[in-house]
Amino acid sequence: MSDTSTRPATAAGTWQLGDLTVNRVGFGAMRLTGGTPFGPGGASSDRERSVAVLRRAVELGVNHIDTAAFYFSPTRSANELINRALAPYSDDLVITTKVWPARDPSGAWWWAEPEQLRGQVEENLRQLGRDHLDVVNLRLPRSWTTGPVAEHFGALAELREAGLIRHLGVSNVTSAQLAEARTIAPVVCVQNAYSVDAPGSEQELLRECGELGIAFVPFFAIAGGQREEGASAAEDEAVLAVARAHGASPAQIRLAWTLEQGPHVLAIPGTGNPDHLVENVAAGAIRLTGEEIARLGSVRPADG
């Protein structure tokens, strides 16, 4: 029996985050806690089911998990669920987190000053039960499209030099902001919203990352323009047609198309549903034709 049949997350191959090798199909922890930290609060998830999903993900070959300290519901914390499910951690497991945004215990948002980033890094370390973080992304505000990143990214670079962080990434960035960060310290990944209906500017940044050898890690690859609300029931006809041709779900086709955008593109679909987990991981084995890739690439952004 092949490794891809027992560990299907390996079917799409691997990529390097610095000196760390990850399978290109990973897992996003945002939905583990129930609801979403970015929208109206929802009921907390079932703790044991969330723990089981994490353990099953690793069994399926997932070795790249994306999380954040601000992924929490009234009674659940994604980082603490990861700790409970997977500690002691295997040597090949890579956990990526993000800082700059934060939420206080009531759930209210705040944004850290550069000197406060160390406290956010230490919060992730405590919750995950680790003495260093594999990858930390500087997550920019969505409105920060022309703002500088030097002070915040420089603070993270200092924590990397101090040994608290192994590698650095950036999230919600433009090409210019990526270039600015790279003058300060190496960048191993860019984590931006991206899907079949992504605007042209994101497609250009994806290609740029490939040329630089930097991982491009899309979030909302399934939800697309619906973002935190999740996938829409009204799916584009092109996605539906390709899904029918492969006997797959629209979500699987969106993930497969994303992975087809380059060997440096990673997927981190998230779910608290064990059946959806198996479906998402299986998408890494779907191979689309050139015609299908082009058809899906012509899907217009949701805003027209």
Q: Is 23 helix (H, G, I), strand (E, B) or coil?
A: strand
The rounded distance, in Å, linking the Cα atoms of 185 and 20 is 17
As a whole number of angstroms, the distance between CA 272 and CA 48 comes to 11
Residue 63 burial (10 A CB sphere; 0-12, 13-18, 19+):
buried
Say which residue the tokens 């907390």 belong to.
Answer: 44
Has 194 been annotated as catalytic? Answer: no
SS3 280: helix
Catalytic residue among 15, 70, 71, 220: 71
Question: Residue 187's closest CA among 198, 195, 179?
Answer: 179
Taking the C-alpha atoms of residue 224 and residue 255, their distance in angstroms, rounded to an integer, is 11
How far apart (Å, rounded) are the C-alpha atoms in residues 161 and 175?
A: 25
Q: How many CB atoms lie within 10 A of CB 45?
A: 22
CA pair distance 234, 111, nearest whole angstrom: 35
Pick the closest to residue 196 from 146, 272, 143, 255 (CA basis).
255
Chain centroid, CA 88 distance in Å: 22
Residues 6 or more apart in contact with residue 187 via CB below 8 angstroms: 168, 169, 170, 178, 181, 214
Catalytic residues: 71
